[in-house]
Amino acid sequence: MAAPLKNDNFLRALRREPVDHTPVWLMRQAGRYLPEYRAVRAKAGSFLAMAKNPELACEVTLQPLRRFPLDAAILFSDILTIPDAMGLGLYFAEGEGPKFERPVRDAAAIAKLGVPDMETELRYVMDAVRTIRRELDGSVPLIGFSGSPWTLACYMVQGGGSKDYATIKAMALNDPKALHALLSVNTDAVIAYLAAQRAAGAQALQVFDTWGGVLSPAMYREFSLPYLVRIARELERGEGAERTPLILFGKGNAPYLEELAASGCEGVGVDWTVTLEEAARRTGGKVALQGNLDPAMLYGSPGAIRTQAKAVLDSYAAGNGGSRDGHVFNLGHGMSPDMDPAHVAVLVDAVHAG
Amino acid sequence: MAAPLKNDNFLRALRREPVDHTPVWLMRQAGRYLPEYRAVRAKAGSFLAMAKNPELACEVTLQPLRRFPLDAAILFSDILTIPDAMGLGLYFAEGEGPKFERPVRDAAAIAKLGVPDMETELRYVMDAVRTIRRELDGSVPLIGFSGSPWTLACYMVQGGGSKDYATIKAMALNDPKALHALLSVNTDAVIAYLAAQRAAGAQALQVFDTWGGVLSPAMYREFSLPYLVRIARELERGEGAERTPLILFGKGNAPYLEELAASGCEGVGVDWTVTLEEAARRTGGKVALQGNLDPAMLYGSPGAIRTQAKAVLDSYAAGNGGSRDGHVFNLGHGMSPDMDPAHVAVLVDAVHAG
């Protein structure tokens, strides 16, 4: 029997129930801006060695929680574990971000892809979830996550990051059937992956659709949104107070908030290019909202950070009938290595102070 | 006396008058995807040497018009000529994009900046405009352009391109007065620069707010939009059929279309993350709209390019009461070096065929 949660504000916010304070966690809260993270990474030798070692993944997951009274932990891992387990060969070129040794470029390569076995090929992730959950000992909930089918496909087809997504967009135009086959197997894998993380102990789940916003509305509605909706509908996650909430985060997803809110997910995460006032008004209480401070605001002075945090809290309430219920505070995107941990402390305090 | 225009569809569309066909030009239509451009660049030795030589700038401006029946020419230049003339020292590091030797980082450096003299310090631009206008001989109109005050400031403060605009956003938070001083001198310079290009013969003017979309709504409305509005209001550009139209283009400007349409500009250029149907509906005929095919669609097959072009034309008409008047076809952002000139021919033909 797992320990009861001492701080369940995050889960209550996702159920749109009243909270003691607006819960806050930060995308990439475990990361290079923390000297203790850099020390573990140096010992591990590489990012991937660290992510694939459940003890080290647990250690870096917990590091920010020792410094800041964050309201949730998020599994330390990479969004590209699934294609790596599919055999694409994930590696990190120094200073260049993730790359694949064997990108998939045509229908034949896509037809060979299968859903990895979660308890063998991705066992290191499930072991990390189990270890972290045990070590958290009920202090705060643990979030599991996955990349979205479209975002995984971007890396799988491009072979790494991209400025213009030329190769995958060409595939979308010239062989949409092949791309849908890829998105379909990715969706099956994401559903199995999130279900396995839930079974291993994850108490909330987030899908990162980092690159959905590079698409035109017509292409987003063909190649990203339907697969997010399928995850929200098909991922079995319990009922009532026991339900494991699912958050759909997307950079550039502001045009689609109504559709995301109708998907069946519990929370929608948004970036900072839309006000939470507008987002709350448009989603009308159907889902919780997560976000949305521009991460660059952490370069501001402590006073500026407090002002900006308050503005995000107030914006949400303005669009939510004056109530702060249903808001999980976060950044609109991940933290950067050159950010000051002291500024994170100011931000978390400002959110909790309201 | 200048030659009368043989093809004024572009100017008529910007006045929302009936046209023979929807006019089309493409951002970065003069560029590395053309072998004849690469030949001139090799001869000139560098991008800047080419841009600063009016004869070569004229030559590369005209190159795409010899291949494709485009409805407008755009001055070949760089958006960063103004800060270069202010003394910041523009240079291009191989494969890295534009950089400044002397970025401005504080109020003291900003206080030293002044509006360059257009007919001495930026004479090479005005000479290029005069040369191109003469060589065009009335075939199509010539577009002059500038970077927006905010976009210029991004490069001036960051010292080059950026992933997160950390330095200028920190300035926005920690010393907004200094940033406003910078944006103010930039605005004065942009107005003088566009007025000088108009005097030299430019028949339409475009402001590129390439990086406005990286801001939150509150910051966009403080640091980018008011300066665009000031340009639209203060730039003297004639009346009636003789009026030189001003187009405000911005990546990520979809949330602000109503405000841009109310600025006093004649056209608003949008990227592909909003449908023209929505953009036309929201701007309600106050301005012409320019855009908005995702440039990556040029990687599609000829058939796919035709389908995509038609979808953009139809989307505009759907939001404009069934009429195609008031639409200038363009990409939502610039072309890339690896694009196929044959595909550009297909696109231009598809737009003209309707």
pLDDT of B273-331, one tens digit each? 999 999 999 999 999 999 999 999 999 999 999 999 999 999 999 999 999 999 999 99
Compute the nearest-CA separation of A176 from chain B (Å).
11
Residue the block writes with tokens 């994170």: A344
* Alpha-carbon torsion (B237, B239, B243, B249), positive or negative: positive
DSSP state string for A84-98? IIIII-EEEETTTEE
Q: Catalytic pick from A12, A15, A16, A28?
A: A28
Cα B123–chain centre separation: 20
For residue B81, give the nearest of B28, B36, B55, B117 by alpha carbon: B117
* Nearest Cβ partner for B273 among A252, A272, A301: A252
pLDDT digit string, tens, across residues B2-18: 668 999 999 999 999 99
pLDDT digit string, tens, across residues B47-57: 999 999 999 99
Q: Is A78 a catalytic residue?
A: yes
Residue of chain A with shortest Cα separation from B166: A296
Give CA separation, A126 vs A10, A56, A91, in Å: 22, 14, 21
Residues with Cβ < 8 Å from A345, sequence gap 6 or more? A67, A68
CB contact under 8 A, B169 and A294: yes
Q: Catalytic pick from B71, B78, B84, B271?
A: B78
Q: Is A32 a catalytic residue?
A: yes
φ, ψ dihedrals at A119, nearest 5°: -95, 0
With contact defined as beta carbons under 8 Å apart, do B269 and B228 qualify?
no
* Nearest Cβ partner for A301 among B173, B275, B300: B173
Q: Is B243 a catalytic residue?
A: no
Residues with Cβ < 8 Å from A296, sequence gap 6 or more? B164, B165, B166, B169, B170
In the three-class reduction of DSSP (H, G, I as helix; E, B as strand; rest coil), residue B187 is classed as helix
For residue A163, give the nearest of B159, B97, B342, B148 by alpha carbon: B97
The reported pLDDT for the residue numbered B315 is 98
Give CA separation, A319 vs A62, A84, A327, in Å: 34, 41, 11
CB contact under 8 A, A294 and B254: no
Give CA separation, A13 vs A184, A287, A288, A325, B77, in Å: 31, 10, 7, 6, 52
Tokens of B262: 């109310």
With contact defined as beta carbons under 8 Å apart, do B289 and B251 qualify?
no
Report the alpha-carbon distance of residue B316 to residue B311 in Å, rounded.
9
Tokens of B315: 């989307």
The reported pLDDT for the residue numbered B93 is 84
- Verify cis geometry, omega within 30 degrees of 0, for the bond prior to A292: yes
Residue of chain B with shortest Cα separation from A294: B216
Q: Catalytic pick from A41, A105, A133, A230?
A: A41
Residues with Cβ < 8 Å from A258, sequence gap 6 or more? A282, A283
pLDDT digit string, tens, across residues A37-81: 999 999 999 999 999 999 999 999 999 999 999 999 999 999 999
φ, ψ dihedrals at B239, nearest 5°: -135, 160
For an interface test with A, which of B163, B273, B277, B298 has the most A Cβ atoms less than 10 Å from its Cβ?
Answer: B273
Residue of chain A with shortest Cα separation from B293: A216
For residue A160, give the nearest of A115, A236, A97 by alpha carbon: A97
DSSP state of A115: P
* Nearest Cβ partner for A216 among B173, B252, B294: B294
CB contact under 8 A, B164 and A295: yes
In the three-class reduction of DSSP (H, G, I as helix; E, B as strand; rest coil), residue B345 is classed as helix
Give CA separation, B298 vs A167, A200, B336, in Å: 11, 45, 10
pLDDT digit string, tens, across residues A305-350: 999 999 999 999 999 999 999 999 999 999 999 999 999 999 999 9
Helix, strand, coil % over all residues of chain A, rounded to 5: 50, 10, 35
* Nearest Cβ partner for A294 among B216, B272, B308: B216
For residue B275, give the nearest of B311, B306, B239, B304 by alpha carbon: B311
Answer whether residue A1 shows pLDDT above 70.
Answer: no
- Verify cis geometry, omega within 30 degrees of 0, for the bond prior to B292: yes
Which of residues 281 through 340 in chain A touch B, CB cutoff 8 A?
294-297, 299-301, 304, 308, 311, 336, 338
Residues with Cβ < 8 Å from A94, sequence gap 6 or more? none
Report the alpha-carbon distance of residue B65 to residue B53 in Å, rounded.
19
Average pLDDT over residues A177-190: 98
Residues with Cβ < 8 Å from B80, sequence gap 6 or more? B90, B98, B100, B147, B152, B155
Compute the nearest-CA separation of B94 from chain A (Å).
17
Q: Would an 8 Å CB–CB cutoff place B120 in contact with chain A? A: no
Residues with Cβ < 8 Å from B146, sequence gap 6 or more? B79, B82, B190, B193, B194, B197, B205, B206, B207, B208
Residues with Cβ < 8 Å from B112, sequence gap 6 or more? none
Tens place of pLDDT per residue across chain B (354 aa) = 566 899 999 999 999 999 999 999 999 999 999 999 999 999 999 999 999 999 999 999 999 999 999 999 999 999 999 999 999 999 998 778 899 999 999 999 999 999 999 999 999 999 999 999 999 999 999 999 999 999 999 999 999 999 999 999 999 999 999 999 999 999 999 999 999 999 999 999 999 999 999 999 999 999 999 999 999 999 999 998 899 999 999 999 999 999 999 999 999 999 999 999 999 999 999 999 999 999 999 999 999 999 999 999 999 999 999 999 999 999 999 999 999 999 999 999 999 999
Average pLDDT over residues A189-199: 98
